[in-house]
């Protein structure tokens, strides 16, 4: 069945005590908004509409960074959830199939749950996502009879008896697109807050002879983020789930509680992840690779058999081919390392291409930035880069070449050549003793 998404992301998030819109606060290295969009993407929607409000430009930009086909519409006045959904109506006037309403501050709704809601549409005209709350608090309550949903009552409008119900409303609703927007247009602000509640469409629909049902999910899926404490709890919940899934999928975590995953981390079976490893967004680790302790990875790809760390940093654009070794205190950025490359320690490779089976000595730096522009370094196959080599880009080192330790390479090195680029050593007899004596005398004089 065709489906479109309406994602509500207009709220200010006052309780976050932040200048940043609530949906742009991060969990697992990415905005809450991206988590919600990722869940919806699993349904392969025909169209996604993001309703923005507070910080509209920033939120819209973030939405388009995740999905450049998303449509952005602004809710200039925050008059409630039904009013927010109504802003999307003109953009989805010709939408076929269903519309599902999601929330930018509710990041953990599972794709399987959204699919269950679509399946339930075969039995009901409208489907609401509900959950049994351990502490219902101020959630809206679902008033049901059997498997039929009669209405949703907001906490502030509920009677004492209704407040005793534990089946609560997540806010996620699925219905035929035309029906959804017809019902939203009929909502009136007849409530204590004077707002247009999306929840009112259930009672309106039933009054018109339509049916409504409930799909129940685990409470953890409906976790909303409204405060910094809830943001921290969302991070904790995400990591617990991600670690459990990694172990279940055949990944070795030697100290699971110290590993932090990004929201889109992909790791293959039989990979090994050591303690205190942090995955930022956009990391893929193939089967059989090993990430050793205290590494920080983002925007990179690590192939089968490669080893990284300990204490290594891979930044966006780092591509490690099979059997590459990146050792301790090495940083790789926007660089491609071909099969069997070894970068043992204390090295920075930025904006570089390194050919297969090349060895990079300790202390090597690709000097890629001239203060205005970045430049690329190209190193061929089976090259030996001596320790403490500075490669001043743009520069090329040919296959089988060698650079002498301590060299500053400013010109291309032809294949199989040895490049030596260092100043001649000059020894001044006895000058070290004289210099130290002079410096000590100056220090003693200052101390008086």
Of 248, 249, 284, nearest to 267 by C-alpha is 284
Bin 329: left if φ > 0, else alpha if -120 < ψ < 50, else beta. Answer: left
The HSE-up count of residue 104 (CA atoms within 13 Å, CB side) is: 32
Element (H, E) at 395: strand 395-397
**Residue 291 and residue 306 in contact, taking contact as beta carbons nearer than 8 Å:** no
- Cα→Cα distances 177→5, 125, 181, Å: 10, 11, 6
Of 113, 103, 133, nearest to 219 by C-alpha is 133
Q: How far apart are CA 319 and CA 306, in angstroms?
A: 11
Q: How far apart are CA 11 and CA 54, in angstroms?
A: 6
Who contacts 5 (Cβ-Cβ below 8 Å, separation ≥6)? 40, 43, 45, 47, 48, 49, 99, 100, 101, 102
Helix axes 56-66, 32-41, angle to 10 degrees: 40
Cis status, amide bond into 394, omega within 30 of 0: yes
Q: How far apart are CA 361 and CA 304, in angstroms?
A: 23
Maximum Cα interatomic distance, the chain, rounded to a whole number of Å: 103
345 catalytic, yes or no?
A: yes
Residue with tokens 């490779």: 349
- Cα→Cα distances 170→154, 202, 218, 248, Å: 12, 14, 11, 28
Q: How many residues comprise the chain?
A: 448
Residue with tokens 């799909």: 215
Of 351, 294, 301, 343, nearest to 322 by C-alpha is 301
Residue with tokens 């001596």: 386
Catalytic residue among 26, 345, 357, 375: 345
Residues belonging to the active site: 345
């Amino acid at each position: 069945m065709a489906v479109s998404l309406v994602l509500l992301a207009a709220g200010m998030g006052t309780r976050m005590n932040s200048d940043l819109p609530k949906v742009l606060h991060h969990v697992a290295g990415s905005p809450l908004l991206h988590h919600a969009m990722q869940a919806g993407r699993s349904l392969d929607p025909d169209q996604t509409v993001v309703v923005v409000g507070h910080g509209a430009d920033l939120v819209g930009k973030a939405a388009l960074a995740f999905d450049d086909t998303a449509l952005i519409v602004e809710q200039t006045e925050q008059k409630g959830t039904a009013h927010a959904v109504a802003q999307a109506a003109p953009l989805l006037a010709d939408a076929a199939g269903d519309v599902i309403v999601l929330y930018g501050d509710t990041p953990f709704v599972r794709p399987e749950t959204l699919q269950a809601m679509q399946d339930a549409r075969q039995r009901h005209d409208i489907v609401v996502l509900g959950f049994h709350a351990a502490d219902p608090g101020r959630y809206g309550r679902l008033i049901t009879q059997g498997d039929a949903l009669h209405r949703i009552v907001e906490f502030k409008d509920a009677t004492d008896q209704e407040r005793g119900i534990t089946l609560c409303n997540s806010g996620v609703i699925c219905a035929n697109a035309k029906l959804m927007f017809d019902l939203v247009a009929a909502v009136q602000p007849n409530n204590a807050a004077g707002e247009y509640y999306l929840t009112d469409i259930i009672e309106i629909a039933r009054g018109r002879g339509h049916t409504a049902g409930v799909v129940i999910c685990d409470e953890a899926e409906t976790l909303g983020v409204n405060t910094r404490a809830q943001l921290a709890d969302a991070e904790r919940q995400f990591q617990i789930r991600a670690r459990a899934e990694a172990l279940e999928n055949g990944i070795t975590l030697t100290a699971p509680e110290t590993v932090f995953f990004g929201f889109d981390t992909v790791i293959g079976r039989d990979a090994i992840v050591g303690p205190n490893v942090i995955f930022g967004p956009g990391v893929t680790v193939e089967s059989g690779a090993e990430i050793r302790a205290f590494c920080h990875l983002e925007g990179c790809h690590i192939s089968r058999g490669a080893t990284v760390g300990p204490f290594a940093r891979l930044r966006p654009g780092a591509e490690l081919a099979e059997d590459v070794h990146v050792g301790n205190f090495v940083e790789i950025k926007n660089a491609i390392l071909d099969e069997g490359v070894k970068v043992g320690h204390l090295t920075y490779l930025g904006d570089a291409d390194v050919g297969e089976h090349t060895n990079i000595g300790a202390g090597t730096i690709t000097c890629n930035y001239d203060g205005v522009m970045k430049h690329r370094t190209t190193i061929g196959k089976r090259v030996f880069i001596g320790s403490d080599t500075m490669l001043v880009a743009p520069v090329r080192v040919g296959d089988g070449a060698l650079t002498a330790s301590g060299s500053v390479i400013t010109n291309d090195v032809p294949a199989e050549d040895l490049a030596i680029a260092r100043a001649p050593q000059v020894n001044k007899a006895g000058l070290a003793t004289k210099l130290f004596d002079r410096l000590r005398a100056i220090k003693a004089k200052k101390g008086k």
